Amino acid sequence: MRKAIKRASGKLTARQATELKALQAMPDKQIDYSDTPSAKPEEWRGATVGKFYRPIKQQLTLRIDADVVDWFKNQGRGYQTRINELLRDVMMKEVKH
């Protein structure tokens, strides 16, 4: 039960953190792909990048002008998701530069 709680909270165990660091340090040439089937380029045509990626959410208090919040809320349900998507778009543009 304790492992499930740690995973649900988004925190890595010490062992997981150590394994991830070792994988990040490993050169691509050392990765063993022998147990994975090879895929031809045409098999990737309809693939979607990041389809199952779900970043960990962090609850916080954020002060936003009331008129801005009202504008998002007046667009209907999901206003927090829309705000997050806009912030992510800005972040991704900054990261690319």
User: Whole-angstrom Cα distance, residue 89 to residue 95?
Assistant: 10
Closest CA relative to residue 72, chosen from 57, 59, 60, 87: 87
What number of other Cβ atoms are within 10 A of residue 84's Cβ? 13
pLDDT class of 28 with cuts at 50, 70, 90: confident
Q: Give tens-digit pLDDT for 47-66.
A: 887 788 888 899 999 999 99
pTM more than 0.75: no
Contacts of 6 (CB under 8 A, 6+ apart): 12, 13
